[in-house]
Amino acid sequence: MVKLIASDIDGTLIPYGRETLEPELFPLIHRLRAAGVLFSPASGRQYHSLRRLFAPVADEICFLCENGAILYGPGGEDTAPILSRTVMARAEAGDLARAIWGLPGCELMVSGVGTIYVCTENEGFIHLIRDEKGNRVERVERLEELPEEILKVSAYCPGGTAAPAAALGPRWGGPFRMAAAGPDWLDFTLADKGTGLRGLCAGLGISLADVMAFGDNWNDEAMLEEVGTGYLMDTADPVLRAKFPRQCRSVLAVLEDLLKELEA
């Protein structure tokens, strides 16, 4: 029996190029909760950004954030329990960040527990991650100024992720998990969404066999491999589609079908 729904956001619940969820999702989450099924976004996004995105239901859902590097149980923004966090070694994360900083055409983003740190004068990039994505952002002059633990280091690659991945992967794809998180984001963490989902299930006392998950990209692969029922979006990379034959066009349509069974 399904007891937890975990869903990626960008490219899965929200098509690329859009910034808001379908309003029909929130009543579905309420109905799932009434039927005994928890919901959790599973995203590379920051906790604050996800709470803003899911504002109508934010206090009653779980959150798998930063590609699984930090997990929150249900509750208010300042009171929800942190179920787990996976911190990057500061020296190695700093070296990786400097490598990204040196890549032409890329912007660096370093994620702490509650704040994203940038070292840039590019106001367009800051507007994107602060105002469009809803993150808490702080600009620092030097990476050594970061006042908290590092959960994720990311490269924003408006020209695509292929060249940055080829440049960074041989050195940094071993110490960290490197994954494309969309057409223009390359993320590095110690955790992945599979790690995060295992931690979330352990904290909630739910078996992975009782989880239904949705994703569309390579940073969702580990999560889809872990769960009892995994759906890949039918717009995904053909290589991923060959690996995950259970596919869908709409998460909301699958949830509606699940609720018909649960509420029957």
- For 180, list phi and psi in degrees, rounded to 5: -70, 125
Question: For 19-47, what is the mean pLDDT?
Answer: 95
**202-236 confidence digits (pLDDT tens):** 999 999 999 999 999 888 999 999 999 999 999 99
What's residue 218's pLDDT?
Answer: 87
Question: For 26-33, what is the mean pLDDT?
Answer: 97
The closest alpha carbon to 190, from 220, 157, 153, 216, belongs to 153
- For 121, list phi and psi in degrees, rounded to 5: -105, 5
Confidence band of 114 (pLDDT split at 50, 70, 90): confident
The closest alpha carbon to 130, from 140, 148, 141, 117, belongs to 117
Question: At residue 248, what is the residue type?
Answer: C
What's residue 18's pLDDT?
Answer: 86
Question: For 89-115, what is the mean pLDDT?
Answer: 93
The closest alpha carbon to 150, from 184, 202, 191, 186, belongs to 191
Ordered by where they begin, the domains of the chain are: 4-85+192-263 (3.40.50.1000), 90-189 (3.30.1240.10)
DSSP 225-254: HHSSEEEEETTS-HHHHHH---EES-HHHH
Q: How far apart are CA 63 and CA 206, in angstroms?
A: 15
The mean pLDDT value of the chain amounts to 93
Confidence band of 17 (pLDDT split at 50, 70, 90): confident
Question: For 247-261, what is the mean pLDDT?
Answer: 97
pLDDT at 143 over 90: no
